[in-house]
């Protein structure tokens, strides 16, 4: 299975945070699954850390790149199709980063690993 991480799921997986559900933890730990991490989430993490809205144990850029490598997640670029589809989504969710993740998951045909109940209002498979 191929699955896309929401930003909080990436952060919780990287920190071995107990808020990550048992099912999400199993999906992520299963070596036969391809877990992808969006460039949109990388941008969100760095943006929030630089503004003091997210505290990390090291500079955000090195944190994201190191954890991406350590956890063997694949990066997923944001392309024009993702951006256009994110902008065209119904406005159930106002967060631009989440809207990009929803568009990516839908376009790539993969589930989104997230605790965010608002995301389930879209036509996207949610794992938690």
CB 128 within 8 A of CB 122: no
Residue 21: give its domain's CATH number: 3.40.50.1010
pTM of the model: 0.95
Number of structural domains the chain divides into: 1
Please state the rounded mean pLDDT for residues 99-120: 97
Q: pLDDT (tens digit, 9 = 90+) per residue, 47-99?
A: 999 999 999 999 999 999 999 999 999 999 999 999 999 999 999 888 999 99
What digits encode the pLDDT tens for the residues 18-36? 999 999 999 999 999 999 9
Give the β-pairing of 74-76 and 34-38: parallel
* Mean pLDDT value across residues 105-121: 96
Q: Domain limits at 6?
A: 2-127
- Check residue 15 and give its pLDDT: 97
Query: Tell me, what's the pLDDT at 93?
Result: 84
- Distance (Å, whole) CA 110 – CA 17: 24
CA–CA gap between residue 62 and residue 65 (Å, rounded): 5
Three-state secondary structure along the chain? Answer: CEEEECHHHHHHHHCCCCCCCHHHHHHHHCCCCEEEEEHHHHHHHHHHHHCCCCCCCCCHHHHHHHHHHHCCCEEECCCHHHHHHHHHCCCCCCCHHHHHHHHHHHHHCCCEECCCHHHHHCCCCEEC
């Amino acid at each position: 299975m191929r699955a896309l991480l929401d930003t909080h799921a990436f952060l919780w997986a990287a920190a071995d945070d107990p808020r990550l559900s048992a099912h999400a933890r199993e999906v992520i730990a299963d070596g036969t699954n391809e877990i992808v991490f969006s460039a949109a989430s990388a941008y969100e993490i760095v943006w929030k850390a630089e503004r003091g809205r997210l505290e990390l144990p090291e500079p955000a850029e090195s944190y994201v790149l190191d954890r991406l490598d350590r956890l063997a997640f694949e990066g997923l670029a944001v392309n024009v199709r993702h951006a256009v589809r994110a902008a065209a989504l119904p406005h159930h969710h106002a967060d631009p980063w989440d809207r990009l993740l929803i568009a990516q998951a839908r376009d790539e045909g993969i589930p989104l690993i997230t605790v965010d109940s608002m995301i389930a209002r879209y036509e996207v498979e949610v794992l938690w």
